[in-house]
Amino acid sequence: MDTREKILLWIRAVRAPFFSATVMSSVIAGALAFSEGSFNWFYFIGAALVIAGSNCGINLINDYFDHKSGNDEINKYPTPFSGGSRVIQEGLIRPRSILAAGIICFSVVTIFGLYFVIFVNLHLLWFGLAAVILGYFYTGSPVRLVYRGVGEIFVFIKSGPLAVCGTYLLFTDRITAEALLISIPQGLLIAAILFINEFPDYEADRTAGKMHIVARIGRKKSRYYYAAVIALAYLSVIIPVILGIFPLWLLITLATLPLAVKSVHIAFTKYDDEQAILPAQAGTIILTLAFGLSISIGYMLDRFF
C-alpha cells in the first residue's frame, strides 16, 4: 500500500467528510462574534481545528469500542453514515492502531487547546476537559454513555453549548445568554444526525447492548422523537427572534424547511428499511450544514444592516 492509499484509508477511518457538521459550531460562534465586532481569524481556525480533531478522536475511539463489543461485527446493514468506518472489520487497520490513533488525536487536541487556555482564557480549560471526557466516554469503557441510553443528550451538550459557547468565549472573553441560546439548534441537529443514524443499526445495537433511544423503544416510535428534535431546532430560533433576543435576519433558517420536511417524511415512511432511509441520513447532515450557514449569514447581515 503506497502513501496515498494509506492517507485515504485513514481519512476513511476518521470519517473526515463528516467533520463539516460539527465544525459548524465554530462557524456559528464566529458569526455571532463577528456581528458584535469581535471576530479573529486565528481563533476561528484554531477552534475549528480543535473541534475537528476532537471529532476525529471520537470516531476512532467509537470504532475501537464498537469492535470490542462485537457491535460492528454483527451489523448486517452498515451504511456510509452509520455502522462505523469498517476498516477493522475488513482487516485494513488493526484495532490497537485505531485505539492508539484516537488517543493521539485527543492528546494533540489537548496540547493545542492548552495554548488558548494559557495565552487567551483560563476558563477554556473546563470546556476542553468536558469535550475530551464526553468524547472518549461516549463509547469508551467504563462509562460507555451511549450504552446507557444517554448518548444523544451528551452529544447535544458537546456539539451545542460546549462547542459554540467555548468558541464564543475564545473570541469575546465572555458567555452571553444569546451565545447559549444559539448553541441549542446546533446541538439539536447534531443529535438528530446521531438519532437518524441509529435506525439502520437498530438490530445490531440491541444485540450488543447499545441501548440508545431507538434501541429501547423501537424505530416506529422513534420517528416521532426524530421529528420532534428537528421541530425543536426551528423553534429554538423562531422563539428567541419573536422575543427580540435574536436578530430578525435569523429567520432565513426557515428557507431550510424543505430539507427538514423531506428527511422527516422519509424517516416516517421508511423507518424500517435500512437502505431506503439513507436519504434521510444524508438529508439530516445537509440540513445541519444549511441551518448553520443560514444562522451565520443572518448574523453577518445583522452586522451590516
Give Cα separations from 173 to 18, 122, 188 (angstroms). 29, 10, 25
* pTM over 0.85, yes/no: yes
In this prediction, residue 20 carries a pLDDT of 85
In this prediction, residue 83 carries a pLDDT of 82
Q: Please write the tens of the pLDDT for every residue from 113-172.
A: 999 999 999 999 999 899 889 888 888 878 888 888 888 899 999 999 999 999 999 999
Residue 108 banded pLDDT, cuts 50, 70, 90 = very high
Q: Please write the tens of the pLDDT for every residue from 71-89.
A: 888 888 888 888 889 999 9
In this prediction, residue 151 carries a pLDDT of 85
Q: Please write the tens of the pLDDT for every residue from 244-277.
A: 999 999 999 999 999 999 999 999 999 999 999 9
In this prediction, residue 80 carries a pLDDT of 82
In this prediction, residue 46 carries a pLDDT of 95
Q: How far apart are CA 11 and CA 8, in angstroms?
A: 5
| pLDDT, greater one: 274 or 238 | 238
Q: Which of 284, 182, 159 is nearest to 223 (CA)?
A: 284
Q: Please write the tens of the pLDDT for every residue from 2-35.
A: 788 888 999 999 988 778 889 999 999 999 999 9
| 282 exposure class (CB count in 10 Å sphere: 0-12, 13-18, 19+) | middle
Q: Please write the tens of the pLDDT for every residue from 286-301.
A: 999 999 999 999 999 9
Residue 195 banded pLDDT, cuts 50, 70, 90 = very high
**What are the boundaries of each domain within the chain?**
3-304
In this prediction, residue 142 carries a pLDDT of 84
Q: What percent of the chain has pLDDT over 90?
A: 75
